[in-house]
Structure 1
Amino acid sequence: MKNKRIYWLCQIGGWSGMVAIETVNYTFFIVGKFDLYYFLGFAYGAILGIFSTHWFKRLISGTALFGRSRSTVWIIALVSTLALSVWMTILTLIPPALGSLKALLAQLNLLNFLASVVNWMRYIGVWVIIYFMYHLLEHNNEIRQERLKMENLAQSVELELLKKQLNPHFLFNALNSIKALVNIDPEKSRDAIVKLSELLRFTLNYGLKPVVTLEAEMDEVRKYLELEKIRFGSRLKVIWEIEEKSKKLTIPPASVLTLVENAIKHGIAKHPGESVVRIKTSVMETDFGIEVANSGLLDQSDGEGIGLRYLKKRLENAYKGRSRFEIFQSDDLVIANIKIPG
């Protein structure tokens, strides 16, 4: 509705401008005085222009014209300008024909006819250029929007596939922990099953929320580490260095959980003896960092797992390139680091 109103305002305003330009031109530079006959002739031409260009607009609307190559579109624009100008010239012959045959014959002079066509081409050409440019830009915008929609859809599908791969892997690790406990301490195994069910609920539903508080995330991480301690016993040592002011900050759900799971998988699970997992947060002026370190050596494939690939994708989507993820070796520790806007 708004576009329609703007269109008609432009139509009436543009053709009224043509009447004003031609009236001023004839009054001051050609005739030397105001002539009502010329003014009415220009007004008649403006009315013809409004209806003719509107008819042309309706003729090409709904076609795939603006989806063609640029050269084809502009050739059609040129031909349309010429055809409309000839049409307008023919229509301007109607008033003289109603007056007298002599006046009509004077207008049919080839030179006068061509001059009239060229004169109309100035205004029709401007109309066609503006109209075609508007629709070309609109068509390009539609293509961009469609491409963006398809890219977002592809990313969503890819993330969902990664998520479906991640959950069974996480479940497998947790079940191994409980299996090791069942025959030793049934009471603790029941408690572990409760923790596992809560973790599964979290991992299955975290896609429903874009962010969670760091405090809520750490609750799930603790449950996971308690399950892994059942499996690894005193070999697993966990160090918490969580800044108090970071607890209320928000992060994509399962971010820290993914890093901790990766630390267990590539740390203590691969190496005998005691192993450390250190979870640390630091709050800065513009962002805050989350660091998960584990004992061991960085393998080339450590940063290529499903969980970390999924985490990287989610960080990219959530922060549009303003986050940073890295994993590196520092002495005898493998450190995974996330920096996100605070």
Structure 2
Amino acid sequence: MTPHQRPLLARLNWYWIFQLAGWGAVAVFNLMLYSQVVNRQGVAAVCWWCSFSGLLLSHLWHGQIKRRGWASPKPLWRRLLAGLLVLGLVQALSVAASIALLQKQAITGLAWLPISMMFWGGILGAWTVCYLSALALRRANRFEAEALRLEVQAKDTELRALQAQVNPHFFFNSMNSVRALIYQDQHAAAQMIDQLASMMRYALQSGQADTVPLADELEAVQAYLAIEKIRFEERMRVSLELEAGLERVRIPPMALQTLVENAVKYGVESNPDGSEIRIRVGRRDGMVDIEIGNAGAILPLANSTKVGLVNTRKRLALALGGAARLDLSEHAGWVRATLTLPEAA
């Protein structure tokens, strides 16, 4: 982002805005304090000089604090207090000189000096506290932004690692299917390789994205099912119901394919009679449900299924937040994996 593209508030020099506003307020306070005699020779000029000299001293003090590193997370209060005593003295003498020069009023004795030093030292002390507080706030914001950047980076790294676990698992299973088919039907094996190449292209293209449109994911799933249809023929039957308008819902890439693969493995491959694979996408209570069903039962020792489900749940949480979830249920001889995610995802 170039400087001209940054928001207006971010481009403003807030240091000088607050400097001018603060010392301008001091001048107005002094003018009001001496309002009854402000028309006298030099009174208004002295009030404005007090603010100008205060602004100059505070700016020099600001440079000293930065150069010496006195604004560290643990400020060096002794040095700051010593500096404020010197600043109070210089400002008090500057004000006395302005009164002598501008008001033509002789100043005798030193009784005025401690009071004047305390007054101006207090004002410059308040300025210092405000400045150090602003630096501390900026430092905290910077640390928070850095922590957020690292959190996002860690999230992205974890998501990429989970996606890397999904893709080799899928292609390993697919290559086993191709190997088994080569000995049975070389033409069907060639078709399967073409479909697998299409799947590999999709996996490579989508692997860099946190989410993809549901339409793209469904297209990849259909290519996968075409591969398995060559292998299982009539043992595998597929039905798809997609409610209108849900094609652009975002979903982690290969998440739906992982669940469909489990449905094929435990519903079709493990059943001599095969199974229908039912994919239904619809709205419910302001959310989108993507349900994948197959005939069969949940196997308590199916470790690969558990790994796939844990992986998918983590990817949903990382990509879409806590509103997205994955549920696995069994009812009346059917196993259903249901992805629930926000439609606006």
- Asked whether the two chains share a fold, i.e. TM above 0.5, the reply is yes
User: Equivalent residues in 2 for 1:9-88 (5 A)?
Assistant: 9-28=17-36, 34-61=39-66, 66-69=71-74, 72=75, 81-88=84-91
3-state SS, counterpart of residue 339 of structure 2: strand
Counterparts of 1:304 and 1:38, CA distance in 2: 84
Counterparts of 1:291 and 1:73, CA distance in 2: 63
Distance 1:44 1:249, change over 3 A: closer
Please report the TM-score for the alignment, with normalisation by the length of structure 2: 0.81
Q: Which residue of 2 aligns with 1:325?
A: 326
Q: What's the CA shift for 1:46?
A: 1.1
1:218-263, CA deviations, whole angstroms, 9 ceiling, x for partnerless residues?
2211221222234444443433233344345443432321221233
1:236-293, CA deviations, whole angstroms, 9 ceiling, x for partnerless residues?
3433233344345443432321221233345445566534432111124733210112
1:138-159, CA deviations, whole angstroms, 9 ceiling, x for partnerless residues?
1111011100111111112222
Report which stretch shifted further, 232-241 or 187-196.
232-241
Q: Which residue of 2 aligns with 1:144?
A: 144
Distance 1:310 1:79, change over 3 A: farther
3-state SS, counterpart of residue 282 of structure 2: strand
Aligned residue pairs total 331
User: Equivalent residues in 2 for 1:1-342 (5 A)?
Assistant: 5-28=13-36, 34-61=39-66, 66-69=71-74, 72=75, 81-95=84-98, 103=106, 106=109, 108-109=110-111, 112-209=112-209, 211-269=211-269, 273-284=273-284, 286-294=286-294, 295-299=296-300, 301=303, 304-305=306-307, 307-342=308-343
What RMSD, in angstroms, separates the aligned Cα atoms of the two structures? Answer: 3.2
Distance 1:228 1:132, change over 3 A: same
3-state SS, counterpart of residue 296 of structure 1: coil
The letter of the residue matching 1:288 is V
Report which stretch shifted further, 134-143 or 59-68.
59-68
3-state SS, counterpart of residue 322 of structure 2: coil
3-state SS, counterpart of residue 61 of structure 1: helix
Q: Which residue of 1 aligns with 2:7?
A: none
Distance 1:174 1:126, change over 3 A: same
1:288-340, CA deviations, whole angstroms, 9 ceiling, x for partnerless residues?
210112322153756642x4444334433443433233223334333221222
The letter of the residue matching 1:8 is W
> Contact conserved, 2:49 with 2:98, CA < 8 A, in 1?
no
5+ long unaligned stretches in structure 2: 4-9
Report which stretch shifted further, 266-275 or 325-334.
266-275
Counterparts of 2:316 and 2:77, CA distance in 1: 44
Distance 1:270 1:117, change over 3 A: farther
Counterparts of 2:236 and 2:142, CA distance in 1: 55
Please report the TM-score for the alignment, with normalisation by the length of structure 1: 0.82
1:60-92, CA deviations, whole angstroms, 9 ceiling, x for partnerless residues?
3367655514xx477776665455323422443
Counterparts of 2:257 and 2:79, CA distance in 1: 60
The letter of the residue matching 2:330 is Q
